[in-house]
Amino acid sequence: MTRTAVTNATIVTVDSHDTVLENGTIVITDNTITELLSSGDTPSTSVDHTIDADGGIVMPGLINTHTHLAMTPFRGFADDVDLQEFLNKLFPAEASIMSERHVRVGARAGFLEALLSGTTAALDMYWHYEASADEAKQAGFRLQNGPIFIGSDGPDRIPFDRRLSEALTTTPHDWVMAHGTYTMDPAQLSKVGELAQQSGARFHIHAAENAGEVADVNSRFGRTPVQLLDDHGLLRDGTVLAHAVVLTDEEIDRIASTQTAVAHCPSSNMKLASGFCRVPELLAAGVTVGLGTDGPSSSNDLDMFTAMRVAALVHKGHRLDPTTLPASTILRMATMGSARALGIDQLVGSIEVGKRADLVRLDASSPSLVPSYDPMSSIVYSASRADVVDVWIDGMQVVNGRTCTTIDSSETLRELRLEAIAISG
C-alpha cells in the first residue's frame, strides 16, 4: 500500500457544494482518495511521499466528452471551412493512410497532448478502436471507446455488414458508436441500435451539428437527426449526442425526458461556424451536458482549458448576458458533467473521499493565477494548459513537473511528423 499526501493545496473539489479547501491536504492511498483535510490538518496515517502544492490549485482531472484523439496527424489539415467541406477533404485523406499503426501513433500523440493539458479521461470515437484502447492502457489514460459504424465502407475499408458481424462476435462492448444519421441509413442505424442494446453498451453519435446536416437528413428521411434517434430507441440514459447544436424546444424536452446526455464542443462549433449549442436551455431542462474538444482536426487541439474558456465566453456574448454559464457551471460541465455523461461519475469527476485519484495540480507561481479571489474563476478565465504541472490518473502520477511519465514525447512527435509527411505526400 502506497500513501501520497498532496499538501498546502487550494483544493477545488467540484463536490455537490462546490467546496474549496484552503491550505488543504489530499491523501491518496494506491488509486483512491482516502483523506481530505483543510487548514493544515495532518493526515491520520503516515504517508510515503509528500508533494507540497505551495498554495496552488489542485482540481479534478478534466474529462473530454467528445473527441477523436487519433486524428492528431490531421491537425490543421482542413481549416476555415464548414462541416461538409471539412468532411469532403478529410474522409479521402483518412482512407489513404488508415492502418492500425497510424491509429496507434495518432492516439499516443493525442494522449500525450491530453495528459500534459490536465485531461485524464475521454470519450473517443475512431477507427481501430482496440489499438487506441491498448495505447491508452500503456499511457495510463482513462479512455472510453468501442466499435464505430458508418454506412459506407469506413476509411479502414470494412463494409458495414462485416463490421457489424465482427462487433457481434466480440460483445460485450462498453460503448457502441455511430458516425451520424447523415452517414448511414435508418436500417443501418436500427442494426447498430440493436447491437448496443444486446451488448448493454452505452451509445455515442454526432447529431444535429449544423443546419445543413439537419436539412440533409430531413430531406432524405423526413425526420431530423434527433427524431430518427428517438424512432430507434436511441435517445436514452447512456446515450451521448455530440454537438446537438440545432435543436427545437420539443427536441430539448425529449432529450431531457429520455436522460440522453449532450457533449458540448464549443471550439469546434465556432471554428466550423456550426452555430451556438443551446446549453442554457439544455441545463435548465435537466440534461447532463459534458464538455469536449472534438478532434484535433476540427478544433485543432485537445485543450480542455480552452474549451472551458470558449464555452464560458461564447454563450455570454451570444446572449448579451454576463450571467450566462458562470465559471462554476463551466468547471462542473468539464468534470462532473462529463463524468455523468460517460457513466463514470461514481468513480471520478470530483475530489471526494472514496473516489479515484484523477487529479491536476496547477502552478502556484504562474503569473496568470495571482491573485485568485475565486479559484473556480481562475481555472476558467485565467488558467491555461501551460499551468498544468502534475497529473494523476487512478493514483498514478502520469505527468510530473510538466513531463509525461508514461509516453516518450520526442519519439512520439517524431512518428507523428512522419505521419503528417505521408498524408501530405
Residue span binding Zn ion (CB under 5 A) among the ranges 84-92, 138-146, 174-182, 294-302: 294-302
Residue span binding Zn ion (CB under 5 A) among the ranges 142-150, 182-190, 290-298, 351-359: 290-298
- Give me the 243-282 binding string for Zn ion, x by CB under 5 A, dash otherwise: ----------------------------------------
- Estimate to the nearest angstrom the gap between the alpha carbon of 10 and the chain centroid: 25
CA–CA separation, 401 vs 390, rounded Å?
6
Residue with cell 487548514: 39
- Please state the closest distance from residue 264 (CB atom) to Zn ion, in A: 12
Positions in 138-167 near Zn ion (CB under 5 A): none
| Residue 94 vs 294, nearer CB to Zn ion | 294
- Estimate to the nearest angstrom the gap between the alpha carbon of 299 and the chain centroid: 13
* Nearest in space to 78 (alpha carbons), one of 102, 94, 65: 94
| Residue 268 vs 382, nearer CB to Zn ion | 268
Residue pair 357/319 in contact (Cβ under 8 Å)? The answer is no
Q: Residue 313 contacts by C-beta under 8 Å, 6 or more apart in sequence?
A: none
Residue span binding Zn ion (CB under 5 A) among the ranges 160-168, 191-199, 219-227, 288-296: 288-296
Does 303 bind Zn ion (CB under 5 A)? Our answer is: no
- Give me the 62-101 binding string for Zn ion, x by CB under 5 A, dash otherwise: ----------------------------------------
| Residue 122 vs 393, nearer CB to Zn ion | 122
| Residue 294 vs 301, nearer CB to Zn ion | 294
* Nearest in space to 333 (alpha carbons), one of 265, 258, 236, 253: 265
- Please state the closest distance from residue 37 (CB atom) to Zn ion, in A: 41
- Please state the closest distance from residue 292 (CB atom) to Zn ion, in A: 8
DSSP letters for 33-75: EEEEE-TTPPPSS--SEEEE-TT-EEEEPEEEEEE-GGGGGGT
Residue span binding Zn ion (CB under 5 A) among the ranges 20-28, 287-295, 333-341, 401-409: 287-295
CA–CA separation, 45 vs 318, rounded Å?
51
* Nearest in space to 135 (alpha carbons), one of 159, 169, 110, 170: 110
- Please state the closest distance from residue 92 (CB atom) to Zn ion, in A: 18
DSSP letters for 192-221: HHHHHHHTT-EEEEEES-SHHHHHHHHHHH
Give the count of residues interacting with Zn ion (CB under 5 A).
1
What is the residue type of 147?
P
- Please state the closest distance from residue 202 (CB atom) to Zn ion, in A: 16
Residue with cell 509516453: 407
Does 294 bind Zn ion (CB under 5 A)? Our answer is: yes
| Residue 209 vs 387, nearer CB to Zn ion | 209
| Residue 292 vs 349, nearer CB to Zn ion | 292
| Residue 294 vs 390, nearer CB to Zn ion | 294
H-state helical runs in 285-408: 304-319, 327-332, 338-342, 375-377
- Please state the closest distance from residue 164 (CB atom) to Zn ion, in A: 21
- Please state the closest distance from residue 66 (CB atom) to Zn ion, in A: 6
| Residue 178 vs 398, nearer CB to Zn ion | 178
Phi, psi of 406 (to 5 degrees): -110, -10
Does 209 bind Zn ion (CB under 5 A)? Our answer is: no
C-alpha cell, 145: 471507446
| Residue 8 vs 145, nearer CB to Zn ion | 145
* Nearest in space to 224 (alpha carbons), one of 237, 241, 207, 238: 207
Residue pair 15/353 in contact (Cβ under 8 Å)? The answer is no
Positions in 308-327 near Zn ion (CB under 5 A): none
Task: List contacts with Zn ion (CB under 5 A).
Answer: 294
